[in-house]
Structure 1
Amino acid sequence: MLQITFRQLEAFYWAGTLGTVAAAAKHLCISQPAVTARIKELETNLGLVLLLRSQQGVQLTPSGHAFLLRAQYMLQLGEEFEAGGRNEQPPLDGVLRLGADESSAAVGIAEILWQLRMRYPTLRMDLSIDQSSVLNGKLNRRELDITIQTSVLNRPHISNRVLGQVAVAWIAGASMDLADLPFRPDDAASVPLVINPHHSVLHSLARDWLGEARADQYQLNTCNSLAMIMKMVQKGHAMAVLPVPIVLEQLKQGQMKLVPADPPLPVISYYACFLSEKEAAGVGTIVDMASEILTECQFFISSE
C-alpha cells in the first residue's frame, strides 16, 4: 500500500515549480533537509525519480513532469477538504494545551508549533515541558489536551497512541578517557554518572541497567535539566544515559561520543496521550502532524 502524504506532495510540487529546494523550504516555512527528506520518501513510495539535483537547483524528470499535475490536483483537493473542515468546527476552541517531555521538545517542538501556526492561524498555544510523570497528572486532571511522553495513561477519558521508539545510549564527552570497553555495570565505579531524577524513564532505565552493581560502588548524580546534563557530559564531567537523537549534532561535531555498553540499553517507546473528548475537535489530526514531524526529524528509530 502506498504511503504518500500531503507533506511529501507539497515538498515535491513546490521544489519542482520553484526550481530549488531552498525556495520550496522558504515557501513552506520548513527546513531544506525536511523538504529533501519528503521528496525522497515520495520517490521511494512511487518507485520513480521525480527530480534531478544539481548545484543550480532541481530539474523535473519526464516522470516528474507527468506527476506534477497530479500532485497539484491532489493538493487542491486536500485544501478543499481542509477548508471544509475548518468551516465546520474550529480546533480545540482556539486553545491547544500541549505537553511534551524535554527530549521530544528539544528535537521537534519548534517545528510542530510552527506547522500548527501555519495551519491554524487563530489557534493559541499553552505549552508545558516536563517529565512524563508530571504530564500524566496534568492530563488526568484535564489541564492538558495532548501530551508527547514516554508512558501511557490508562484512564477512561484518555486515549493513547504509539508514536515510535527512540534509541538510548551511554554518552560521554569526547575528552573522557574510557579504557575498558564495552562499558559494563561493574565499570560504573570508575566514572561519575549523571541521570534524570527519580520518577523519570531515563532514571529507571539507568538504575535497572546498573542493577548488577552495588549502589555504593558507583557515583550517581541527578539533575532535573536535560540541557544541563548535556553540558556536563560535553565538558567531560560525567557520563549520562541520553536519547541519541538529542545529541546527534554533538556526535557529528565530535563533542560527544557513544559509549558501547554491555548489555546494551533498551529503546524507549513514545506515545501521544490526549483527552478522548477532544478528538472530534481536531486533536487526532494534530497527533498525526506531531508524529510525522518527529519522524522527519529522525527522533524515532526507522521501521525500515
Structure 2
Amino acid sequence: MITFKQMDAFIWIVKCGSFEAAATRLSMSQSAISKRIHEIEETFSLPLFDRSQRGARLTEKGRELYELCLDLAGRRDMLIKRMSDSQVLMTRLRLGVTELSALTWLPSFVEEVRGLYPKVQIEPFINTSARLFDSLISDAVDFIVIPDVYSDTRVVSIPLDKLENVWMCSPLLIPHGTPLSLDALSQNTFLTQGKESGIGLIYQRYFSSKNVFFNKTLECDNFVAQLSLAVAGLGITYLPGKLVGNLVKNGKLGEVTLRPSPPNIRYAGMYLTDRAGGVIPEFVHIAQLLCRFDNSLIF
C-alpha cells in the first residue's frame, strides 16, 4: 500500500528534478528519499524513473502515477484545510427561527454571518417553536432561536434577548388606554398562538396560574395573521409594543392598560451538545449580539 509520505517524496522528486533537491526540500537524507521510491516501485512492480537517462525522468507509468498522486495529495491538503479553518468548517448553516425573528433581526444576522463566513451557505427554516425544537433533536437543523420553554440534556441553551409584550386590540373594540382587570380581560375573545408556539405555551401556562379562562379563544400559529385579526377588531391579544408602534400611531391598534403586564418572553439560541466544540457557538455569539426585538417590523 502506498503512503502519503511515499507520495510526497515522489511528487517532490519530480517537481525539484532530482533526488538530491527533493531530499533538501523535505529535510531528509537522499537515501531515505530513495528508499521511499523503491518501496513504491516494489508495491506496483514497475519502475517510476528511466534510470538510463540523467536526472529524474519519469517512465510512462511513472507519469501516470505522478498525476494520480498529485490529485490525492491535493485532496488531502484540502481536507486538512477544511478541518482546521473555522471559516470553512461548515459549508452550510441550517438555521431555524420563528416567524417573529424572521420579520425582525434575521436579515441582520444573515448579513453578519456572510461577512464573517463568506463560504457558509445559510439555509433558513421558519416554523413554530415545537417543530423547530423537534427538528433540532432529529439533527434536521444545526441551530435554532425560539422562546426558552424547552429543556433537554441533549441541547445547549444560551439566553438571548427578551420580548416585551403589551395587551392590544383595535381601538374600535376597546378605546386606547382603557384599564382592564384580568377578569374583565377574560370576558373578551382572546387571540393567541397555539400550543406549538413557544409564546402560546407561555401564555397558556400564565393564565392557568392566574385561574383566568376566556369566554372565547382564537388560536393562530401565524404572527402576521394574529396581528391582522387584532387590527380587524376580533379580539384582544399580546403584541410586542415596540414593533407595532406605527399601527398604534395610525389608530389601527390601541394598548389596553392592564396590571399585571403580560410576561416577558425570553428567547434562547439552541444547538445539540455534541456540536459544542465546533463553529456553532460562534453563530450563537453573533445571535446574542443581533437578536433584538426593539425595532420596527420589516414590513
Normalised by the shorter chain, which TM-score bucket? 0.5 to 0.7
User: Aligned-pair distance for 1:85?
Assistant: 11
C-alpha contact (below 8 Å) 2:82/2:89 kept by paired residues: no
For the structure 1 residues 154 and 181, does the alpha-carbon distance in structure 2 shift closer, same or farther, using more than 3 Å as the test?
same
2:294 alignment partner in structure 1: 298
Question: Which residue, out of 227, 231, 235, partners 2:224?
Answer: 227
For the structure 1 residues 213 and 180, does the alpha-carbon distance in structure 2 shift closer, same or farther, using more than 3 Å as the test?
farther
2:146 alignment partner in structure 1: 149
Question: Which residue, out of 226, 233, 256, partners 1:259?
Answer: 256
User: Aligned-pair distance for 1:193?
Assistant: 2.0
1:35 alignment partner in structure 2: none
Identity of counterpart residues, as a percentage? 17
Q: Distance in 2 between matches of 1:93 and 1:214?
A: 48
Aligned residues: 214
User: Aligned-pair distance for 1:254?
Assistant: 3.8
TM superposition score normalised by structure 2: 0.62
For the structure 1 residues 159 and 179, does the alpha-carbon distance in structure 2 shift closer, same or farther, using more than 3 Å as the test?
closer
Q: String of CA shifts for 1:95-141, please: whole Å, max 9, x gaps.
A: 10111122222211122112222322221122111222211111111
Q: Secondary structure at the match of 2:247?
A: helix
Which runs of structure 2 are paired with 1:198-237 in the superposition (5 Å)? 198-211=195-208, 215=213, 218-237=215-234
Q: String of CA shifts for 1:225-261, please: whole Å, max 9, x gaps.
A: 1111111112222221223344244234443222111
Which runs of structure 2 are paired with 1:1-304 in the superposition (5 Å)? 88-151=85-148, 153-178=150-175, 181-188=178-185, 190-211=187-208, 215=213, 218-295=215-292, 298=294
Higher helix share: 1
User: Aligned-pair distance for 1:178?
Assistant: 4.2
| Amino acid across the alignment from 2:158 | R
Q: Secondary structure at the match of 2:291?
A: helix
For the structure 1 residues 210 and 126, does the alpha-carbon distance in structure 2 shift closer, same or farther, using more than 3 Å as the test?
same
Q: Distance in 2 between matches of 1:179 and 1:144?
A: 42
Q: Distance in 2 between matches of 1:88 and 1:136?
A: 29
Q: Give me the CA root mean square deviation.
A: 2.9
Moved more, 198-207 or 280-289: 198-207
For the structure 1 residues 117 and 240, does the alpha-carbon distance in structure 2 shift closer, same or farther, using more than 3 Å as the test?
same
For the structure 1 residues 276 and 257, does the alpha-carbon distance in structure 2 shift closer, same or farther, using more than 3 Å as the test?
same
Q: Which sections of structure 2, spanning at least 5 residues, go unmatched?
A: 1-80
For the structure 1 residues 122 and 85, does the alpha-carbon distance in structure 2 shift closer, same or farther, using more than 3 Å as the test?
closer
C-alpha contact (below 8 Å) 1:168/1:267 kept by paired residues: yes
| Amino acid across the alignment from 1:298 | D
For the structure 1 residues 252 and 276, does the alpha-carbon distance in structure 2 shift closer, same or farther, using more than 3 Å as the test?
farther
